[in-house]
Amino acid sequence: MMLGEPKPEVSVVTENYLQAIYKLGERDEAVSPTRLAEVMDVSVATAVGTVKRLTRQEMVAVASNKEVSLTRKGRDVAESVVRRHRLAERMLIEMLGLEWYKAHREAHRLEHAISPDVEQKLVEALGHPETNPYGLPIPGYSKGSKKMKPLADAREGESMTVSQVPEEDIQLLTYFDEINVKPGAEILVKESAPFKGTVTIDVNGEHVVLGLEVARKIQVAA
Ligand SMILES: [Zn+2]
C-alpha cells in the first residue's frame, strides 16, 4: 500500500469469527465448526478452513472432540470487537436516534472501524455504560452480570424488570419494540398458563399475551 490507512492487524473476517465464538460462549453453547458455520452463514468447509487459520494464528484452540475455544490472544481480540460493537449500538440509539431494533444490525458495520481513541471518547460520551441496548454486558466495562431468569419461569403476580432480550432476530426485536419489552421495562405477570402455552403480562399499562417460546427468550431480573 502506498497511500492511505495503515493495514489493520486483525482482519474483519477474523474479528467476526472470534466475535461469534465469544457470543456462543456467552450463551454456554458448545462451539463446533458446524455450529460456527450456521451462525456465520457459511459452508462447513469454509468454517473448518477459517478455524484452521485461526488455530495457526493462535487465536483459537481445537479440542479432540472438535470443540473450538478462544485462546488468551483470541479472547482479547473478541472482547475488543464485542466491546466496540456494543458501544456502537448505544451510540447509534442514544446519540443518533436510530430505532432501537435497528442498532444491532447497523453496529456490525461500525464495530470494525472504531479505534481505541474513539472507543475511549465513546465510553465517556455515553457515561460508561455496562450493557448494550439489549442488556448484554460490555466486556471490560460491565461489573459482573446480575442474576437473571427466563420470563417463562416467572410466577403469576410477580413483577420484575426486563434484563435482556436476544438481539439477532430483527423481527422479534421489532415486536419487542412495539410492546415495549426492553431492558429496564417493568412487567407484571398476570397469568402463566403453560398448558395453553402462553404468558400474559402487563407492560406500560397494556395487557400482552406472549407465546411460551418468546417468553423463554426474555430474561428478567431474578
Ligand atoms: Zn449487537
* Residues of the chain above pLDDT 90, percent: 90
What is the reported pTM?
Answer: 0.91
Architecture of domain 1-145: Orthogonal Bundle (1.10)
The rounded Å distance from CA 194 to ligand 1 centre is 31
Spacing, Cα 129 to ligand 1 middle (Å): 14
Say how far apart CA 145 and CA 132 lie, in whole Å.
13
Ligand 1 centroid, distance to 166 Cα (angstroms): 9
Residue-wise pLDDT for 163-214, tens only, equals 999 999 999 999 999 999 999 999 999 999 888 999 999 998 899 999 999 9
Distance CA 51, CA 57 (A): 10
What is the pLDDT confidence band of residue 7, given thresholds at 50, 70 and 90?
low
How far, in Å, is the centroid of ligand 1 from the Cα of 12?
16
Output the CA 139–ligand 1 centroid distance in Å.
13
Compute, in angstroms, the gap from residue 89 CA to the centroid of ligand 1.
Answer: 7
What does the domain layout of the chain look like in residue ranges?
1-145, 148-221
C-alpha count within 13 angstroms, C-beta hemisphere, residue 64: 0
Burial (CB < 10 A; 0-12, 13-18, 19+), residue 48, is: middle
Helices (H), 111-169: 116-125
> What's domain 148-221's superfamily in CATH?
Ferrous iron transport protein A (FeoA) (2.30.30.90)
- Convert the pLDDT of each residue in 128-163 to its tens digit: 999 999 999 999 998 887 899 999 999 999 999 999
How far apart are the CA of 15 and the centre of ligand 1, in A? Answer: 14
pLDDT at 3 over 80: no
Distance CA 170, CA 176 (A): 10
